[in-house]
Homo-oligomer: A and B are copies of this chain.
Amino acid sequence: MPDPRIVIYGPGSTGLAITKMLCDRGVRPVAAIARTGSKTVGKDLGELAGAGRIGVIVSDRADETLAKARADIAVVTISSYLDDTLYGIFEKVVKAKADVVTLAEEMLYPWVTAATLSRKLHELASAHGVTVTGTGHQDGYWVNLVGVLMATGHKVSQVSGALSWNVDDFGKTLAEQQLVGRTKEEFEAWKKSTKRKPTFGAISLYALAATARLTPTGAISTDTQPDLATSRVYCKALGKYVEPGQLLGYTDTDTMKTKEGITLRISSCGKVYVPGESDFNKWVLSGKRADGTNVRLQMLNADLPTAVTTCATLVNRIPDVLEAPAGLVTIDKLPQLGHRPSLAARSSEA
């Protein structure tokens, strides 16, 4: 099979990291689309990505570029939630008869939190014979590794994940969103007043439940706790110090109950790190031995390079999306996430 024809839709830092990975693997994207006004427009995608000139000039004319590209798939790295804007972008790609693979976090399992747009997108993609799938770091670390782990346990009653990400890796907007440098009183006032979108953790629990063939009962509950500085810590993203007692960030804990009696929980901490801290992903499953005594299954991914895993997972999902049936196809319906030496779709054997 020939290499897939790939469009990069959103050549921001993540889109460019994916571009570099694709070029490293010998698969050069055939087109790139940015929003009007982006500094990337008119530049060579390969040069922007640090992969050398590839003769693909970033365009802000989406329809024209998609029509010319005859793409098999578009990599969409624009935003996190399935709203009307993101739907509009997917619609352009789908109508150009290309599959979509996206890092939009809600797209990992949008069926519950964005039900109406999900159904509409599923119908649109089905009608045009293409696949739309969300993936990313969570696909591996919050869903598939955990799903495999669950298969190795007996009478598992609780599945609990804890993970951490560094606000300083993601810039000012996210640092402000994580309330870095605010007081505990400001945090409590924010908690009372805010109407937040579903957390990425909550969305991943839906995907995990579907993967483990569990049926959620009722809504996911979300608890949010501040992470307070105990010493003076410099926040690179804000360019200022966080004083003792102020927030380094906060931790969201999402809990899902299921009809099968298994509780799924994920605690996600986004904060400014103090020296020695790094991203991790840790899961503990409470289960039983055959003799009825309690036992725990544990997994720790320490020093986790989240920027790598996010992009590499998307790249390795490309053949799965190319081979999948038409529609909005979430990861619970895809084959096992795995390393793919070739990004081309395989024969029907797959």
Contact = CB atoms under 8 A, between A and B. Distances in A.
Given A145-B149, A151-B140, A296-B303, A339 B213 contact: yes
A313 interface: yes
A300 B297 contact: no
A301 B303 contact: no
Contacts of A24: 154-155, 288, 290
A213 B340 contact: yes
A137 B212 CA distance: 18
Contact of A152 (B16, B141, B302): B141
A30 interface: no
Contact of A302 (B21, B49, B144, B298): B298
Interface stretch (A96-104, A181-189, A236-244, A304-312): A304-312
A342 B299 CA distance: 25
Interface residues of A, number: 61
Interface in A290-342: 290-291, 295-305, 307-309, 311-313, 315-317, 335-342
A224 interface: no
- Stoichiometry (number of copies): 2
- Where chain A touches its partner, the secondary structure class is mixed
B212 A339 contact: yes
Interface of A: 16-18, 20-21, 24, 49-50, 137, 140-141, 144-145, 147-156, 211-214, 260, 287-291, 295-305, 307-309, 311-313, 315-317, 335-342
Nearest to A214: B341
A301 to B, nearest CB: 6
Given A296-B303, A302-B298, A313-B151, A308 B336 contact: no
12 contacts: A20-B290, A20-B291, A21-B154, A24-B154, A50-B290, A50-B291, A144-B148, A150-B339, A151-B317, A151-B340, A297-B301, A299-B300
Contacts of A311: 154, 290
Contact of A212 (B20, B149, B307, B338): B338
- Residue from A17, A291, A341 whose CB has the most chain B CB atoms within 10 Å: A341
A291 to B, nearest CB: 7
A337 B213 CA distance: 12
A147 B339 CA distance: 7
Given A20-B291, A305-B297, A312 B213 contact: no
A148 B320 CA distance: 14
Given A145-B149, A152-B141, A303-B296, A308 B337 contact: no
